[in-house]
Structure 1
Amino acid sequence: MKHRTEILWSFLWSRKLLSYVLLGLIVSLGLLCVYYVSSLAPALPRSNDQGGGEDGTDPLFGRPLQRDDDDFDNLFEDQDHNLEVPKSIPVCDMKLSDLIPCLDRNLIYQLKMKLNLTFMEHYERHCPPPERRYNCLIPPPVGYKMLKFPGDKLNNGGNIRNVLDVGCGVASFGAYLLSHNIIAMSIAPNDVHENQIQFALERGIPSTLGVLGTKRLPYPSRSFELAHCSRCRIDWLQRDGILLLELDRLLRPGGYFVYSSPEAYAHDEANRRIWSAMSDLLTRMCWRIVSKRDQTVIWAKPLSNSCYLKRDPQTKPPLCSSEDDPDASWNIFLKACITPYSANVHRERGSGLLPWPQRLTAAPHRLEELGVNSKEYQEDTEIWHLRVKDYWKQMKSVIQKNSFRNIMDMKSNLGGFAAALKEKDVWVMNVAPVNDSSKLKIIYDRGFIGTVHDWCQSFSTYPRTFDLLHAWAIFSEIEEHGCSVEDLLVEMDRILRPDGFVIIRDGPSIINHVRKFLTALQWDGWLSEVEPRVDALSSREERVLIARKKLWEESVATM
C-alpha cells in the first residue's frame, strides 16, 4: 500500500513539474515576441514627442531608441526598402567602359548560343541571366570628354516628319534632315569594329542600336512617313521578302522607301537579277515606283486596301490574319505577310495627320483606340508643360546653356514631357514600358520618336548616351513586377553622361529608398527634392528628386 502511494505521489509531482516547465516556456516565448515586435514597430511617443525615457532609452527594455529626422517617412516606408544599402557600388573594369549588357558579343560566345548568323540573330538582344550580370558602375574611358551640340535653329519642314534610316552608319542622313525639321530614327547593329551609333549619339543625333533580323523592330505600325536605305547591305529578298514586309508594317499610308544601292542602277547580270526579283516582290506588295534617278529609286506604299483586294487570293505575300496585332512589337517574330489597313484608314486614304508642327498639339485619330478623348489629351499636354517648367526652376541654379541635348523619358505616356520641351534644342527618346506600349503610336503621331522597352532589362544603347533621364513612376512599376530598384539605378548610371541629371518622380517611400543609393552611385554632386503640386495625373502622393551625376576623377574610374 505504501509503495503504491509513493508511486502515485511521484506521478503527481512529475505532472506538476511538467506544468511549471510548460508555463515557463510560454512566458519566455511571450516575452521574446514582445521584444521582437517592439524592435520592428515605431517607438511610442512620450509627452515631449521624443519617446522613451529621459535618457533617450526604450522605457521597457532600456536600449537606445533609433533617431531619425524623417520619422513620418520611415513610419510608412515599405519594409522591403529597409534592406541594407551598400555604401559604395564597385566600379567595373576599364575594358567594360563600352558595355551594352543585352548586346554583349562576348556573352554570346561564352554561353555558346546557337544563333543563325544569316538572319542576324547575333545582333539582336540577348540579356545575361541574373548570375552573369556585372552589377557594377560603368567607368568612362580615360580622357573622356563630352561634346556640346551647337544651338542652331531648325527650319520648318513639310508633311514628312518621321523617318526610319536603316543601316545608317554614323547617321549623316539623319543629321542632314534635322535642318529640315525632320527627325529620323537612325538604326544600325552593334558593330564590334566601328561604334557608329555611339559616334552619332556623341554628336547629338537621334539614333539607336537595332537590326532587321528575326524580330519586329520595337515601333508600332504606321510610324514613319519615309524609310531610307543607302548601301545598307541588307538582303531584302531573303525569307520571302520578310524584311521589306517589316518596312511595310512601319510605313504610314502612302509612305516612301528611298533605296540607293547598285541593284538600282548597275547593269551587270547579278545586280539586274536582284533588281528584277525585288521589283516583282514590291509590285505584288502593291508598292509603286514614283521616282528613279541615277543611283536612287523611290517606292510608295498604297494609300488604301484597294490594290490588296484586287489581287488574286493566292498571291504571295498574303495578307496578315485579322487576329494579328500590327502594333505589338516587343519580342514579336517577323511575319511574311502584308498588314492591311483598318476600315477607318482605308476610308480616309491616308494617316489624317496634320503637318508639323501642328501635329504636335492636335489630337491624333488613334487616341480613340486608347479610349482617350481630345479634352483629356489637351489636359495632359498642359499638365506636363507645368511639370517641366517646375523641373527647370528646380535646376535653374546649376544648368547652363546647351547643358542638354540627348534626353530620355523613361515612361513617355502620351508624349507630354517631350512636347513641353519643343522650344529647347533637344531631342527626346520616348520610351513606352512594355505594359504601356499601346501609347507609343501617339508619340509618333505627334511627330516624336521612341521605342518599347522592358525596364527589368538593360536598354539597347551605349554607356554615357543621355544628358538627362526622366523617370515618372517607373520604380513603382518595376517593383510590382518583382524587379530590382538597385539594378535599374545601376543601368540608369550606365546610360547617363557624367554631369548628367536624373529626374525621379515617384511615391515618398520610393524616393526615400532611392536617396539612400545616391552616394554609392556618385549622384550626390547636386541634389534637390520637393513635394510637387497636385494635378489630374497625381493618383497618389508624389515627390520629385533631381540628382546630378559626378564627373569621375580618373583615379576613381580605374579602381
Structure 2
Amino acid sequence: MAAGRHFRNDKQMPSFYVMATIAVFVALCLIGMWMLSSPSGDEVVPRGESILVSEREGVHEKKESEPQQFEESAGDVEQETQEKVEQSPLTQSDSPEDGSETGEDNKEPETVDSEENKEPETVDNEEKKEPEADPDTEKPTPDVQGDHEEVKGKDEEGTQEEEKGSDLEESGAAQSEIQIETKEVPNNNWETQASESKEEKETVAGEEQNPDEGVASEETPNDEEDGAKKAGSEDKSGSDEWSLCNAEGAADYIPCLDNKEAIKNLPSSKHYEHRERHCPSSPPTCLVPLPQDYHSPVPWPKSRNEVWFSNVPHPGLVSYKKDQNWVKKAGDKLMFPGGGTQFKHGAVHYIEFIEQTLPDIALGNHTRVILDVGCGVASFGGYLFDKEVLAMSFAPKDEHEAQIQLALERGIPAISAVMGTQRLVFPSNVFDAVHCARCRVPWHIDGGKLLLELNRVLRPGGYFIWSATPVYWKGAEDVAIWKDMVALTAAICWELVARTTDSSTGVGVAIFHKPTTNFCYETRKQSSPPLCDSDDKPDAAWYIPMTACIHKLPSDEDARGIEWPTEWPLRLTTAPTWLASEKGVYGKPAAADFRSDTEHWERVVDKSYLHGLGIDWSKIRNVMDMKAVYGGFAAALASQPVWVINVVPFDAADTLPIIFDRGLFGIYHDWCESFSSYPRTYDLLHSDHLLDRLKKRCSVKAVIVEIDRLLRPDGWVIFREKINNVKEIEALLKSLNWEVRMTYIKNEEGLLAVQKTRWRPEATF
C-alpha cells in the first residue's frame, strides 16, 4: 500500500508541475501577443468603420491609469503595414462607443481632441520620411481582408457583394504611402483673390491682408432664396434633420443662379445681369431631390454619345435644336450625334477644318487648354479629348434648357457662366486659345468690353477662333458686324491670321492672334480702347466688374506670360520658368515646391487612391479638386480617363496660373457659396484641408450640403482633414446615410473616404 501510495504521489507531482509550467507558458504567450499586437501610430480602418487615435500606449512603459507617448518611426513601414488594427466607431463624443471589437474587453482605445504641438511637415520632410522601395511594403497585408470582415457594421449590410471586386487586399501596401499631413506654410508673398480684388480691399479697409487667414467674402444681396431653407449660425453640424428643397425645379437647383427674389429686384437685365451669380445671404441646407427613375450614369466614353433621359429629363433642347443635330431623344436615352449649329458634318470634321485653316495652332502640342464660349452641349470640347486638348466650356443657365447639365452628364467639362457685367473667374493670360462657334455674344458693343475680357484671359500669342455668321454671311447686318469686329480687333492689336470657309459645309472661321509684346499698344495712333490703369490688377476675378480697357502685357523677362509653356505633355510636370524667382507656397523655392508637390501626389494617387480605397475608377469621369494648390492631384490622374477641375479658393494663395501653365484648368471659388454647376454632376470630389479656414465664415453643414448637391449618387469624396474636422464631417455624412468606406488616422491628421448613397428624406410638401 505504501509503495502504491508513493507511486501515485510520484505521478501526481510531475502532473502538477507540468500544468503549472503550461499555465506560465500560456501567460507568457498572451503577454507576448499583447505586446506584439500593440498598434503603431498609423491606423487604417476599411469600409464603414472609423477610428480616432493620435497618441498610442508605449510597449515598454505601459500604465493602466494614463496613456503613454509612443514615438513613431516613419521608416517602420513593415510593422505599420502588417499590424492588425484595433478599431472603434467614431462618434461626436470623446470616448468610443461600447462594443469595440478589440479582443481586450477591459480596454478602450484612447482619443485625443487637441492638436499636437508639432509644426506641419513640409514636402521636404515627407520625402525624407518616405521609405526606400521595400519588397515587404509592396505586398498586400494578410490581415486587411480579415479585418474588413471583422469590423463590417450596419453601414456595410447589403454592400459586401457589390464591393467584392474592389482591390482592398492591396490596401496594406497603400497605407504606407497615404500622406495626410497638412503641408501648407503661411507665405505672405502670394496674392489671393481676396487681396487682388479692389472691392475686397474696400470691404476690409484697414485690415491686414494675410493670404493664410480667412477673409470675409464679398457680401451678396441679402435676399431670401426661393423655397430653400437657409443655414444660420445656430445650425448644429451633426443635425440629422434633413429636408428636401421645395423650390420650383428643385432637382436642378443652383442656389446662386436660381435666387429668384434677387433676380426680380435687379434694376436691369440689359447686360445679362439676371444670368450672373446672385447668392443667398446664407447658404441653403436643404437637399436637392433626385429625378424620378434616376440611373447610374452611362460610363465614358459611351456617355459622349448617349445618356439616360431620366437623369436629365429636359425635352426642350431636343425640340428647340431638332434641326441642328445637337441632341435627339431615342427611347429612354438622349443621343448626341456629335453635331451642332456649326458642326454640320460633326464636331470631328469641324476640328479638322480648324487645324487645316491654321496648322500653327498645333492642337494637343502647342495648344492644350481652350476656353469654349457659348458651348451648347459641349460637343466641341468632347471631341477635343481625342486631340489631347482640354476645353473649359461654359454657357448660361437660360432658355436653352440644361445644356451645361447635358454636357456634364456626358462626361465633358463645363460650368454655367455668362459674358455679362463681371469678369470670368479665371486669371489673366492663361488660355492657349478661345473658341466661339455661333455664340450669341455681341463682342463689338459697349466699347468692346466683352472681347476685352477675352483678351484678359487669353495667353499672349494665343488665338481667338471665331466661327459665326458675320465671318461668312453677306447680309447687311452680318457685314456691318464684321466691319466693327475688324476695327475692334485691330484697335486691341489682334492680328487676323486666317479667314476661310469650309466648302463642304458653307461654315466659315476667322482666327485672330494676340500679340506677345506691348509694342503695338505703345505705338497705336488712337488710344481707344484705353490701356487699363496701373492699379487695375488683371488677375483679380472674384466679383470684379468688367472694364473696357486693355491690360498691358508683362514686360519683365522672367514675368509670367512672357514665355509660352513647354509643349504638352512635358508641360504637365515641368515647373514654369517664371517660378524661378518666386518663393513657393510651402516655403521652399517655388520650382522645388512644385516638383515636391508633384512627386507627393504621384505617390498618394498611385499607392493609395487608385488601389487602396476600394474606388471603382471605371465609374469615375468628372473629378473636382476642391482646394488645389499646384494641381498635383490632377496631374497624378492625367493618365486616367478622367478630367479634373482645380478649384482655388478665393482666399487661398493664387496658384491657379501655375495650374494652367502645366496644361490643366481650374476656377476661383468661395465654398461658402454654391458652385456654378448643376446637381449630380461630379463622380469624385477631393478636399485637402479645406475646412479649417472655411468654417470661420460658414457652417460645415452648409459645405457638406453643397458637396451632396454636386456629387452623383454612388459618387465618392476623399477628405483629408484634421481629426476634429473628420469627426464633424463623418457625423454629418452618417446622418445623410452615406457609406464610410475608410478612415485613416496619423497623429492629428485623418483621411476619410466616403460614398454617397441614393437616400433622400421624405418630401414634406
Asked if these proteins are the same fold (TM beyond 0.5), I'd say yes
The residue type equivalent to 1:147 in the other structure is: P
* Cα 1:418/1:75, change in 2 over 3 Å: closer
**Take 1:514 and 1:349, find their aligned partners in 2: how far apart are those partners?**
40
**Take 1:369 and 1:458, find their aligned partners in 2: how far apart are those partners?**
36
Query: In the alignment, is residue 118 of structure 1 matched against residue 231 of structure 2?
Result: no
SS of match in other structure, 2:252:
coil
Query: In the alignment, is residue 484 of structure 1 matched against residue 699 of structure 2?
Result: yes
1:142-541 aligned at under 5 Å gives the runs 142-150=292-300, 157-294=364-501, 295-312=508-525, 314-344=526-556, 350-368=562-580, 370-372=582-584, 373-392=590-609, 395-397=612-614, 399-436=615-652, 438-480=654-696, 482-523=697-738, 525-531=739-745, 541=748
**TM-superposition CA deviations, 1:396-427 (whole Å, max 9, x none):** 43x32412100000001000110111111100
SS of match in other structure, 1:263:
helix
Between 371-380 and 494-503, the greater mean CA deviation after superposition: 371-380
**Take 1:547 and 1:557, find their aligned partners in 2: how far apart are those partners?**
25
Aligned equivalent of 2:49 = none
Q: Which has the higher contact order (CA 8 A, sep 6+)?
A: 2
Shift of 1:142: 0.5
Shift of 1:115: 4.1
SS of match in other structure, 1:344:
coil
Contact 1:473/1:505, CA 8 A, preserved across alignment: yes
The residue type equivalent to 1:355 in the other structure is: E
The residue type equivalent to 2:274 in the other structure is: H
SS of match in other structure, 1:252:
strand
Shift of 1:149: 3.2
SS of match in other structure, 1:494:
helix
The residue type equivalent to 1:120 in the other structure is: Y
Shift of 1:74: 5.7
**Take 2:426 and 2:402, find their aligned partners in 1: how far apart are those partners?**
23
**Take 1:369 and 1:185, find their aligned partners in 2: how far apart are those partners?**
30
SS of match in other structure, 2:695:
helix
**Take 1:97 and 1:463, find their aligned partners in 2: how far apart are those partners?**
7
The residue type equivalent to 2:511 in the other structure is: I
Point out where structure 1 has 5 or more consecutive residues left out of the alignment.
1-46, 52-64, 533-539
**TM-superposition CA deviations, 1:504-537 (whole Å, max 9, x none):** 10111111111111222221x24210025xxxxx
SS of match in other structure, 2:655:
helix
Shift of 1:328: 1.1
SS of match in other structure, 1:186:
strand
Contact 2:266/2:274, CA 8 A, preserved across alignment: no
**Take 1:374 and 1:157, find their aligned partners in 2: how far apart are those partners?**
25
**Take 1:120 and 1:366, find their aligned partners in 2: how far apart are those partners?**
37
Shift of 1:84: 6.9
TM-score, normalised to structure 1, is 0.80
Contact 1:410/1:472, CA 8 A, preserved across alignment: yes
The residue type equivalent to 2:286 in the other structure is: C
Shift of 1:85: 2.2
TM-score, normalised to structure 2, is 0.59
Contact 2:736/2:759, CA 8 A, preserved across alignment: no
Contact 1:501/1:547, CA 8 A, preserved across alignment: yes
**Take 1:171 and 1:252, find their aligned partners in 2: how far apart are those partners?**
22
The residue type equivalent to 1:143 in the other structure is: D
* Cα 1:75/1:349, change in 2 over 3 Å: closer
Query: In the alignment, is residue 86 of structure 1 matched against residue 239 of structure 2?
Result: yes
Query: In the alignment, is residue 104 of structure 1 matched against residue 258 of structure 2?
Result: yes
Between 386-395 and 459-468, the greater mean CA deviation after superposition: 386-395
SS of match in other structure, 2:453:
helix
**Take 2:567 and 2:113, find their aligned partners in 1: how far apart are those partners?**
53
**Take 1:508 and 1:348, find their aligned partners in 2: how far apart are those partners?**
38
**Take 1:348 and 1:449, find their aligned partners in 2: how far apart are those partners?**
16
Shift of 1:288: 1.1
* Cα 1:318/1:96, change in 2 over 3 Å: same
SS of match in other structure, 2:556:
helix
SS of match in other structure, 2:408:
helix
Shift of 1:494: 0.4
**Take 2:499 and 2:413, find their aligned partners in 1: how far apart are those partners?**
28
SS of match in other structure, 1:178:
helix
Contact 1:505/1:544, CA 8 A, preserved across alignment: yes
Contact 1:115/1:121, CA 8 A, preserved across alignment: no
**Take 1:101 and 1:224, find their aligned partners in 2: how far apart are those partners?**
28
SS of match in other structure, 2:605:
helix
Aligned equivalent of 2:19 = none
Between 66-75 and 275-284, the greater mean CA deviation after superposition: 66-75
The residue type equivalent to 2:599 in the other structure is: E
**Take 1:178 and 1:107, find their aligned partners in 2: how far apart are those partners?**
40
Between 137-146 and 360-369, the greater mean CA deviation after superposition: 360-369
SS of match in other structure, 1:68:
coil
Contact 1:165/1:184, CA 8 A, preserved across alignment: yes
The residue type equivalent to 1:529 in the other structure is: T
Q: Which structure features the higher share of helix residues?
A: 1
Contact 2:432/2:463, CA 8 A, preserved across alignment: yes
* Cα 1:206/1:363, change in 2 over 3 Å: same
**Take 2:573 and 2:726, find their aligned partners in 1: how far apart are those partners?**
32
Aligned residues with identical type, % of pairs: 40
**Take 2:528 and 2:426, find their aligned partners in 1: how far apart are those partners?**
25
SS of match in other structure, 1:101:
coil
**Take 1:405 and 1:349, find their aligned partners in 2: how far apart are those partners?**
31
The residue type equivalent to 2:244 in the other structure is: V
The number of equivalent residue pairs is 483
SS of match in other structure, 1:438:
coil
Contact 1:499/1:549, CA 8 A, preserved across alignment: yes
SS of match in other structure, 1:471:
strand
**Take 2:561 and 2:721, find their aligned partners in 1: how far apart are those partners?**
43
| Cα RMSD, aligned residues only | 3.0
Aligned equivalent of 2:291 = 141
